[in-house]
Amino acid sequence: MVDPIKLEIFKNKFSAIAEEMGVTLNRTAFSPNIKERRDYSCAIFNASGDMVNQAAHIPVHLGSMPMSVKAAIQNVSINPGDMIILNDPFKGGTHLPDVTIVAPVFTKEDSTQPLFYVANRAHHADIGGMSAGSMPLSRSIYQEGLIIPALKIMKNYQIDEDVLSLILSNVRTKIERQGDFAAQFMANKIGIRRISELIEKNSQETVVLYSKALMEYSEKIMRKTLKIIPNGLYLFEDYLDSDGVDDEKIKIKVGVEIKEDQAIIDFTGSSKQIQGSVNAVYAITASACLYVFRALVKENIPANAGCMSPLTIITQPGSIVDATYPAAVAGGNVETSQRIVDCVLGALSQAVPEKIPAASQGTMNNFTIGGIKSDSGQAFAYYETMGGGTGASLREDGENAIQSHMTNTLNTPVEAIEYEYPFRITNYAIRHNSGGNGLHKGGNGLIREFTLLNDAECTMLSERRKFSPYGLFGGENGKAGNNLLICKDKQIKQLPGKFSLFLKKGDKLRIETPGGGGFKKAQ
């Protein structure tokens, strides 16, 4: 019998383990992308690969981690001391830079069938491919970097140097990668150790019983949350600006049907998958939907398989929200995921207007700079995402210059950049008056200007440069974002939302991120 006291205690224990894995990964990783920007997630899974608890890290990993773990355990036979590495977006991955490492937790008595799994996923600043930073304007997945199917990277507690060497030979910044992988192994080891201790202190049966109870717990609360939303079918559609190859807009259409304590989220009618890199694999669409519904829950529930049970997601394979091999997907994770959230929120705002804000910036403004340092001859690769405005709501104005929805990564300090990389930030400020007007105003976007001290390749993957973040109930749209090149000779060029350019020392790139939508008409 599940007892409410133990339920709460195990909730604390499991979340402490996932959090400790995160602390370990964060502290031991080498790259700023993981340490400073905290672009990673850690979670615990049961024997069939269902998620028991994910620490509150990156939402886009929410629905996708379990699919990676299932792919890993279905494709590889696993023994004590093994770890599996994978990043294949068509097997539960999101995009190639997100590399997942899965490890089994065996009991002392049984070394044939793992009782739990632990896994962590970290965004590596480079995983090879056609451009530094591995967030290219690609047309197929082959251009985006090294595809790692589920492979054993650790066998019987030893790193498989062959596999590691193959991976490292395909990336631009080997030492950094090596350090980050070591941190990922360490995080899993901590997870294994803690779960083993938990099993030792309690019994195996109890730990398994409460891991299941936690899923039921989250499911119960999710269903109660859905029950409050009026039954009905709510439709919404919005667009992505382009795929970076041609200028065609891309439609995302959603019908959210609430039936008592469940929701059917149907993306039928969305555009077909496209040439460029903003295709989202199913795992991303699932994560985005899960994020929205998880955010409607007021309680601090464990993010796990139970949250997903009341949701049915319908997609057409080969569409923009369920891309199939070998589609280019680098940007689907970061950009399309945001638009999917906008669409699902837009639909729900018709059902529960008081619970849903207008559109937030709807992009992550993924920016990479890479090249060779002219003084030392060393390669460098830098990646960052930029915050923007959030949408206003019935309660209040939106927030300025902050990360929204599917990401919550930190910026890299201006002074840290200048110590490390051959470029300088020459403007970093709130983009005033960019939030949509309304009874409540949308939050403002931000301005970030990069001045190159070295020739470099710059790649931008940004959205909401044409279709601006929507306002609601008469509130105006937020201002669309804007990318500008200010050449050394002061000439200003308008750049598209997605570009990849070789720029010269002295050139400046000025990025202005979108504002959030307003709520209700201004009085």
Partner 1 sequence: MIISADTGGTFTDFVYVKDGKFKILKVLSTPDNPAKAVLKGKSMIAPDNLEELIHGSTVATNAVLERKGAKTAIIMNRGFEDIIEIGRQNRPELYNLFVKRPEHLVKAPLRFGVPGRVSKSGEIIEPFDFDEAKKVAGQLNDLKVESVAICFLFSFVNPVHELAMRDVIHEICEGPIACSLSHEIMPEFREFERCSTTVVNAYVQPIMKNYIGNLEKNIGDKNLVIMQSNGGRISSTTASKEPVRTILSGPAGGAVGAFEISKQTGYDKIISFDMGGTSTDVSLINGQLPINVESTVSNYPLKVPMIEIHTVGAGGGSIAYVDKGGALKVGPLSAGADPGPICYGIGNEITVTDANLYLGRLIPEQFLGGTMPLAKTRLERYFSNLSEQTGLSKVKLAEGICDIANTVMEKAIRVISVDRGYDPSEFTLCSFGGAGGMHACFLADLLNIPRILIPKDPGILSAKGMLLADCIRDYSKTIMVDYPIPKETLNDEFQELRKKAISDLSLEGIAPNDIFIDQFVDMRYKGQSYELIVEYGDDIRNTFDQVHEKRYGYSNKDKACEIVNVRIRAYGKNEKPDLDKQKQSNTAVDNDAFIFTKDCVFDGLVVATKVIDRSKLQFGNQLTGPLIIVEYSSTIVIPPSRTVRVDAYGNLIVGKKNGGF
Q: Is 408 a binder of partner 1 (CB under 8 A)?
A: yes
What mask of x and - would describe binding to partner 1 in positions 53 to 82, judged by CB under 8 A? Answer: ---xx-x-----------------------
State in angstroms the smallest separation of the CB of 23 from partner 1. Answer: 5
CA 124 vs. chain centroid, Å, equals: 13
Of 81-89, 264-272, 386-394, 500-508, the segment contacting partner 1 by CB under 8 A is 386-394
For residue 373, give Cα distances in angstroms to 318, 379, 440: 41, 6, 47
Q: Which of residues 211-250 bind partner 1 (CB under 8 A)?
A: 217-218, 220-221, 224
How many Cα atoms sit within 13 Å of 93 on the Cβ side? Answer: 30
Tokens describing residue 130? 């056609």
What mask of x and - would describe binding to partner 1 in positions 438 to 477, judged by CB under 8 A? Answer: --------x--x----------------------------
Of 244-252, 258-266, 309-317, 387-395, the segment contacting partner 1 by CB under 8 A is 387-395
Q: Is 20 a binder of partner 1 (CB under 8 A)?
A: yes
Among 27, 249, 259, 504, binds partner 1 (CB under 8 A): 27
- Please give the helix or strand (H or E) that residue 33 lies within, else none: helix 32-35
What mask of x and - would describe binding to partner 1 in positions 167 to 206, judged by CB under 8 A? Answer: --------xx--x--x---x--xx----------------
Q: Of the two residues 209 and 314, which places its CB atom closer to partner 1 in the complex?
A: 209
Tell me how far apart the alpha carbons of residues 154 and 134 are, in angstroms, rounded to a whole number.
Answer: 25
State in angstroms the smallest separation of the CB of 148 from partner 1. Answer: 22
Q: Is 101 a binder of partner 1 (CB under 8 A)?
A: no
Among 230, 375, 419, 489, binds partner 1 (CB under 8 A): 419
Contact 34, 58 (CB under 8 A): no
- Please give the helix or strand (H or E) that residue 188 lies within, else none: helix 174-201
Of 16-24, 134-142, 258-266, 314-322, the segment contacting partner 1 by CB under 8 A is 16-24
Could you tell me how many residues of this chain bind partner 1 (CB under 8 A)?
78
Contact 191, 83 (CB under 8 A): no
Q: Is 309 a binder of partner 1 (CB under 8 A)?
A: no
Q: Is 314 a binder of partner 1 (CB under 8 A)?
A: no
Tell me how far apart the alpha carbons of residues 274 and 244 are, in angstroms, rounded to a whole number.
Answer: 10
State in angstroms the smallest separation of the CB of 129 from partner 1. Answer: 21
Tell me how far apart the alpha carbons of residues 166 and 341 are, in angstroms, rounded to a whole number.
Answer: 37
Strand order in the sheet with 379-384: 379-384, 366-372, 456-461, 498-503
Give the N- to C-terminal CA distance of the chain in Å, as an integer. Answer: 57
- Burial zone of 223 (CB within 10 Å; 0-12 exposed, 13-18 middle, 19+ buried): middle
State in angstroms the smallest separation of the CB of 164 from partner 1. Answer: 15
Strand order in the sheet with 423-431: 423-431, 445-452, 508-512, 482-486, 492-495
Q: Of the two residues 324 and 416, which places its CB atom closer to partner 1 in the complex?
A: 416
Q: Which of residues 289-308 bind partner 1 (CB under 8 A)?
A: 291, 294-297, 299, 301
